[in-house]
Structure 1
Amino acid sequence: MVLDLNTATVEQLDALPGIGPVTAAAIVAWRQRNGRFTSVDQLADVDGIGPARLDKRRNLVRV
């Protein structure tokens, strides 16, 4: 399953391996504050997602 970062809910993101409810909520909060994601690389701007974590989950999301 590949989720769109711009439409995924907290519940959908939480269901992804290694994301969890706190990070899922942070992704949605980032989107609400900053608008649509234009690149998967912008996940690195979300609290709790560093380069290694982004690399491991890059194939699970899209924009």
Structure 2
Amino acid sequence: MNINQASAQALSEGLSGIGLEKARAIVAFREQHGAFSRLEQLLQVKGIGAALLEKNRARLAL
């Protein structure tokens, strides 16, 4: 799933442990800071930790 293009709804439905609130935070971060250039930037989003990133890494794309 492309985190630079997916909607909050798509993120919440397609990623494990990501509810609508966290998905909206990802989209808000992207809108505020521009496109993600590295998956590790997700760690800067409130509510996204290393374990959650690793759990979903195989599903994520830029």
Higher strand share: 1
Aligned twin of 1:5: 3
% of aligned pairs identical?
41
Q: TM-score normalized by structure 1?
A: 0.90
Aligned twin of 1:32: 31
- Offset at 1:57? 1.0
Q: How far apart are the structure 2 equivalents of 1:43 and 1:62?
A: 12
Query: What 5-or-longer segments of structure 2 have no aligned partner?
Result: none
Cα RMSD, aligned residues only:
0.8
Q: TM-score normalized by structure 2?
A: 0.92
- 1:51 aligned to 2:50? yes
Query: What 5-or-longer segments of structure 1 have no aligned partner?
Result: none
Residues paired across the two proteins, number: 61
